Amino acid sequence: MPFLTRGNGFGASLGKRLPGKALKALSPPPPPETELLVGANNRNRKERGKMGMKRNKELPLPADLKAEYPLSRAVQEMKARRDREIEGVFTGRLDKFVVIVGPCSADREDAVLEYVYRLAKVHEKVREKLVLIPRVYTNKPRTTGEGYKGMLHQPSPDKAPDLLGGIIAIRRMHIRVMEETGLTAADEMLYPENRSYLDDVLSYEAVGARSVENQQHRLTASGMDIPVGMKNPTSGDLSVMLNSIQAAQLSHTFLYRGCDVTTEGNPLAHAILRGGVDKYGTCVPNYHYEDLARLWELYEKRGLANPAAIVDANHSNSNKKYNEQLRIVSEVLHSRGHNPALKKLIKGVMVESYLEEGSQPVGGGVYGQSITDPCLGWADTQRLLYTIAERV
């Protein structure tokens, strides 16, 4: 199996269909559809040590899904141009400001596409100063494991999970965003082995606060050829985030999708400040001037490549009070303008926004309103983007 190298990503060397004999040798026969893999406490267990898990269906290889839903040459070339531009911001080659903006969760294709259509029109007017990256987040971490887990799990939020349908739906939606708007998107890497289905369509990925300490996330990020943002954990501990960045910038050899792989390291791994929560459950923001200055000092001590940070204006920075994002972005821009080191460090902001402000429960019936965390509405978002462009 070829090694993984930057420039071709995981999908280029993994997920290919093997010859029949090799595939048979590598893949044990699947258990019957109804067979339960049971734990030690179950009297009917088939084998000691197996987990309580049922195999529902086998999913297609990433290469097969990509062949069924391919990118045109024109879209591939457009993405390459976008990737170079975004990389230029994170390396300091371009003096532009990144705004990663969009719904908390991409719950329905039509509303997401309408949102990105509008965003693309704004991008044409601000592109000399800003690089707008739509948030098209298709899988969502849940603190307690309950609730809507994103389009990957539920292509229809009010229906039962369908992972095959979800994988197809999210790839198709990302491709439509690219083809119809000329923008490439960001998504969260919640499940590292699933990114091989999307590694040719994304221009930015984030590792969330609950995943940033996970070894597989860090190692997988080291094989990516696009910027990957490492969020501080929910505790707010910046050293954990910086450890993750350092790990992602190094080369590693590890297991990935059943293969022994080696990565070259990702020099575009960077910080995302999203605030934290103390032991009493109180939100502790980390977007203030002192927080940004402290991060700069920590970066200098580490000697990491391409020091960079994105400030997430929602989550624990806003205590999920979505309208506070307007004020928080304004403060970040002020801090950045006050200190040349911070202007160099703070490459952009992340904002949660949708067509309609606020949020609703699943099945609430409001087109373009979040069914997870509350978001800014489009009118405020548009004003915010033009204001950012004037101030950077």
Here the CATH number for the domain that contains residue 263 is 3.20.20.70
Domain annotation covers residue 251: yes
Least confident interval from 44-53, 252-261, 326-335, 369-378: 44-53
Write out pLDDT tens, residues 128-181.
999 999 999 999 888 787 889 999 999 999 999 999 999 999 999 999 999 999
Q: Which amino acid is at 259?
A: C
Shared-domain flag, residues 50 and 112: no
Last residue of a domain, one of 7, 30, 59: 59
Query: What confidence tier does 32 reach under pLDDT thresholds 50, 70, 90?
Result: very low
**Which residues form the domain of 130?**
61-391
Shared-domain flag, residues 332 and 344: yes
Shared-domain flag, residues 100 and 24: no
Long-range contacts of 1-5 (CB under 8 A, 24+ apart): 1/259, 1/260, 1/261, 3/261, 3/262, 4/223, 4/256, 4/261, 4/262, 4/263, 4/264, 5/263, 5/264
On whether the CB atoms of residues 108 and 154 are closer than 8 A, the answer is no
Q: Inform me whether the pLDDT recorded for 60 exceeds 90.
A: yes
Average pLDDT for residues 57-82, to the nearest whole number?
A: 97
Q: Inform me whether the pLDDT recorded for 21 exceeds 50.
A: no
Shared-domain flag, residues 33 and 101: no
The number of domains in the chain is 2
Q: Burial level of 24, CB count in 10 A (0-12/13-18/19+)?
A: exposed
Shared-domain flag, residues 122 and 200: yes
Domain annotation covers residue 30: yes
Shared-domain flag, residues 235 and 267: yes
Shared-domain flag, residues 33 and 89: no
Shared-domain flag, residues 41 and 156: no
pTM of the model: 0.89
* Cα separation, 244 vs 16, whole angstroms: 29
Average pLDDT for residues 74-99, to the nearest whole number?
A: 98
On whether the CB atoms of residues 248 and 230 are closer than 8 A, the answer is yes
Shared-domain flag, residues 248 and 354: yes
Domain annotation covers residue 10: no
Shared-domain flag, residues 362 and 324: yes
Shared-domain flag, residues 114 and 22: no
Higher pLDDT, 48 or 116: 116
Domain annotation covers residue 7: no
Write out pLDDT tens, residues 274-297.
999 999 999 999 999 999 999 999
* Cα separation, 148 vs 160, whole angstroms: 10
Domain annotation covers residue 163: yes
Q: Which amino acid is at 174?
A: H
Shared-domain flag, residues 50 and 196: no
Domain annotation covers residue 1: no
Average pLDDT for residues 348-355, to the nearest whole number?
A: 98
Residue-wise DSSP of 251-316: --EEEETTEEEE----TTEEEEE--EE-TTS-EE---SHHHHHHHHHHHHHHT-SS--EEEE-SGG
- What's the pLDDT score for residue 140? 82
On whether the CB atoms of residues 76 and 179 are closer than 8 A, the answer is no
- What's the pLDDT score for residue 50? 66
Domain annotation covers residue 8: no
Query: What confidence tier does 49 reach under pLDDT thresholds 50, 70, 90?
Result: low
Nearest Cα neighbor of 84 from 226, 212, 198, 234 is: 226
Domain annotation covers residue 13: no
Which uninterrupted H or E stretch holds 205?
strand 202-207
* Cα separation, 233 vs 241, whole angstroms: 7
Please name the residue that has the structure tokens 């693309």. 120
